[in-house]
Amino acid sequence: MLYHLLPQFADVHIIFNLFRYITFRAAGAVVTSLLLAFILGPMTIRWLIRMEVGQVIREDGPETHFGKAGTPTMGGVIIIMAAGISTLLWADLTNGFTLVALVALLWMGLLGFLDDYLKVVQKKSRGLVARYKMAGQVVFGLGLGFFLIQWPIWPVPPNWTMVPFFADWVAVFWIPAYLVFVPVVVAGTSNTVNLTDGLDGLAAGLSAIAVVTFGVFAYFIGRVDASAYLGLFYLPGAGELSIYAAALAGSAIGFLWYNSHPATVFMGDTGSLALGGAIGDMAILLKTEFLLVIVGGVFVMEGLSVILQTGYFKYTARRYGAGRRVFLMAPIHHHFEKLGWAESKIVVRFWILGILFAMIGFSTLKIR
C-alpha cells in the first residue's frame, strides 16, 4: 500500500523515494510485523484463554509436556495477522508473486485453524481427519500448479526449475508430473513444519531462518545483474517476495516472545501449516524447490524420522509379531527429550542446525 501511495510525493521530498526500494521496504516489513506481533500477542492470548482454547497433550508423549496441558493454542493467528498486514502495507500489491504468496498463507492458515478448532473447541481429539487435511493441501497444490501453467508469472517455462550447485543444469518436468510435483512440495513442507512444532519455539525459530534464506534468494533472483552473475534464473518481480519473507520472519520472531520456553501460547496447526505452506510456496515461486531440501534440512530430518519410525514399526510387527522402534519417540526432537536433554537445549541446537543448513543453501550461490 505504501509502495503505491508515497513514491508519488518524491517531488515534495526525496525521502519518499525510499519506498521504491525493496531493501528499504523489507526492513520496514520486518519491523512492522515484529511490532504487530508484540501488540497483537497479549490481546490474542487473552482471547484464547477466554475461549478456553487449550492445548491437548498426547498421553504417550514426554512426561515433561504434561504440565503444558491447557496452554492457549491457535496462536498462529498472531503470525498470520502480523505477516499479512505488514505485507499489505509494504509490498507491491499488483505483483503476482505477492498475491500468490498471500493466498497460500491464508489458505494453509485457514486449514490449520479448522483443524485446531475441531480439536480444542469442538473437543474432537482427532481434529480434522488426516486424509481431509491432506486433501486440503493437495487441492491448493493442484490449483497452484494449474494456475502457474495456465497463467505463468515467469519468463521461463513453468515446468522448469533450478538445480542447486549447477548453473547450467535445469530440471524439466513433464507437465502432468509438474502438476503432481507442486502438491508434493506444498503438502510435504507444511506437514514437516507441523511435525516440527513439538517444542517451545522450535518451529517458529526454524521457520524464521528458512524464510530469511529464501528472502535473500528472492532478492537476487529478482535482479537481472545479480541473477546473471550467480547463474540463477532471472524472474522479474520476484524481489517482492523479499518483503513477504521479511514480514513472515518478523512475525515469527515476534511470536517467539510469547512462544519461547516456557511458552505462554502455542501456534497450533494454524501457525505451523501456514508457515510450512508459505515456505513451500516461496520455493515453488522462486523455482528453488530442490534447494528447499537443503534449507529446510531440519524439517526433512523431522519428517524422515516419523516415516522411518512408522515404517520400521509396521515391518517388524509383520515380521516378528511385535513392532520395534528406531527412535525412543518420533519426531526426532522427542527422541532427544527421552534421552534426558533439556527442552531449551534441543531447541537451540536445532536452531543451530537450521542456520548451518541455511549456510549450505547460501553456498550454492557460488558453488555452481
169-202 residue pLDDT tens = 999 999 999 999 999 999 999 999 999 998 999 9
Can you tell me the distance from the alpha carbon of 106 to that of 342, in angstroms, rounded to the nearest whole number?
Answer: 34
Q: Which contacts (CB < 8 Å, 24+ apart) does range 111-114 have?
A: 111/136, 111/137, 111/140, 111/269, 111/273, 112/76, 112/194, 112/268, 112/269, 112/270, 112/271, 112/272, 112/273, 112/274, 113/74, 113/76, 113/77, 113/269, 113/270
CB 178 within 8 A of CB 154: no
Cβ neighbour number for residue 176 with a 10 Å cutoff: 10
Categorise residue 314: left if φ over 0, alpha if ψ from -120 to 50, beta otherwise. alpha
Higher per-residue pLDDT: 132 or 67: 132
Name the DSSP class of 20. Answer: G
Please say if the pLDDT value at position 125 is more than 60: no
Report yes or no on whether pTM surpasses 0.75: yes
Can you tell me the distance from the alpha carbon of 275 to that of 177, in angstroms, rounded to the nearest whole number?
Answer: 25
CA distances from 140 to 39, 129, 130, 210 (A): 31, 17, 16, 21
The strand pairing partners of 163, in sequence order, are 166
CB 200 within 8 A of CB 347: yes
Please say if the pLDDT value at position 62 is more than 70: no
CA atoms lying within 13 Å on the CB side of residue 108: 35
Name the band, by pLDDT with cuts 50, 70 and 90, for residue 119: confident
Q: What is the pLDDT of residues 298-348, one digit of tens each?
A: 999 999 999 999 999 999 999 888 889 999 999 999 999 999 999 999 999
Q: Which three cell numbers stand for residue 178?
A: 509438474
CB 74 within 8 A of CB 270: yes
The H-or-E segment that residue 160 falls in is: strand 160-163
**Alpha helix locations (H) across the chain?**
2-5, 22-50, 76-90, 96-116, 130-150, 175-196, 202-221, 224-230, 240-259, 268-285, 289-295, 297-320, 332-338, 343-363
Can you tell me the distance from the alpha carbon of 259 to that of 351, in angstroms, rounded to the nearest whole number?
Answer: 15
Q: What is the pLDDT of residues 148-159, one digit of tens each?
A: 999 999 999 999
